[in-house]
Amino acid sequence: CVPDLPRLAAFPLRRQPTQRAGPTPTPTGGSGVAFHATREYRSGDPLSRVDWTRLARDGELATVQFRAERAATAVAVVDTRRVAHVSDADGTNAVEYGVEAAGGVASALLDAGNQVGVASLGPHWAWLAPGLGREHRARLEALLARDRGFSVSPPDRRFLSALVFRRLRTHLPDDAQVVFCSPLVDDTAAEYVRRLEASGHPVTVVSPDVTGAETLGQRFAGVARAVRVRSLRAASVRVIDWQAGDSLAVAVADAERGWFA
């Protein structure tokens, strides 16, 4: 039995122009629905895009351009290293939160017409290349539910960090964005994000906060994680700080309000 992907109404990706029409806004003008700019009228421009108001006011022919929208390619990467297998006060494993986030993000992006893939960044490598359609959704659901790469049990083999990260970089399409699902419990996780950004893959981090405040060690871990979150945001990386007890949809909505405020 393979459960359906968690429901998430929408997930905001970063701006990134591609060649396929879709729901992700780009900084370029073209066909779309949101106003972008006006330019001098050119022979052959459709009459529906003539700025008739400007013509009546100034007698000048101009063409309205709308903000172009393109489909995106995204890969949800779940941090499944042994260090990421930490639990919150209720005993829920951070990797379990990560798999839920990857499923919700994939579902929302597939519903919006984007190509989506998933990967496990841990000792047990798992990969599904970005794709579309019902069959691809079914494969993605099965991989998240059944593959040992996404198991909530701590891995039983050594993690070869450089090798696995290089494999991820090799598999990622050139135009792919990354949604990195990680509790950010160590500096290495933040370093992965910076390296992906530097290689041209825009990253959005979904980070479940499983740190507690009952002991000195828990409080220290919470402060260290908060520093990592701030440092990534200072580097213009979007971070969704997902507090235990909140739904993923609430965490995404809270973060989105901050991004577009």
Residue 240: domain span: 73-259
**115 contacts 132 by C-beta, under 8 angstroms:** yes
Q: Where are the alpha helices (DSSP H) in 34-183?
A: 52-58, 94-111, 133-146, 161-171
Share of residues in the chain with pLDDT > 90 (%): 59
- Report the predicted TM-score, pTM, of the whole model to 2 decimal places: 0.79
Last residue of a domain, one of 38, 70, 102: 70
- Between 25-34, 94-103, 134-143, 162-171, the lowest mean confidence (pLDDT) is in 25-34
Closest C-alpha to 178, from 195, 163, 159: 195
- Please report the DSSP string for 176-228 in residue order: EEEEEE----SHHHHHHHHHHHHTT--EEEEEEE---SSSHHHHHHHHHHHHH
In this structure, what CATH number is given to the domain that contains residue 127? 3.40.50
**Using CB atoms within 10 A of its CB, is residue 233 exposed (0-12), middle (13-18) or buried (19+)?**
middle
The reply to whether 116 and 137 lie within a common domain is yes
Same domain, 96 and 25: no
- Would 7 be classed as within a structural domain? no
Buried b (16+ CB within 10 A) or exposed e, 156-165: eeeeeeeebb
Flag whether 219 is in a domain. yes
Q: Do 35 and 142 share a structural domain?
A: no
The answer on 46 and 109 residing in a single domain is no
Of 98, 40, 83, give the one whose Cα is nearest residue 64.
40
- Quick one: pLDDT at residue 59? 76
**Residues 120 and 65 occupy one common structural domain:** no
pLDDT for 63-93, tens place per residue?
876 554 568 999 999 999 999 999 888 888 9
Position 27 scores a pLDDT of 45
In this structure, are 66 and 95 located in the same domain?
no
- Count of domains observed in the chain: 2
User: Could you tell me if 44 and 164 lie in one domain?
Assistant: no
Together in a domain, 145 and 219: yes
Report how far apart, in Å, the C-alpha atoms of 41 and of each of 30, 37, 38, 53, 254 are: 14, 12, 9, 14, 42
pLDDT tens by residue, 172-217: 999 999 999 999 999 999 999 999 999 999 999 999 999 877 788 8
Residues 50 and 26: beta-carbon distance below 8 Å:
no
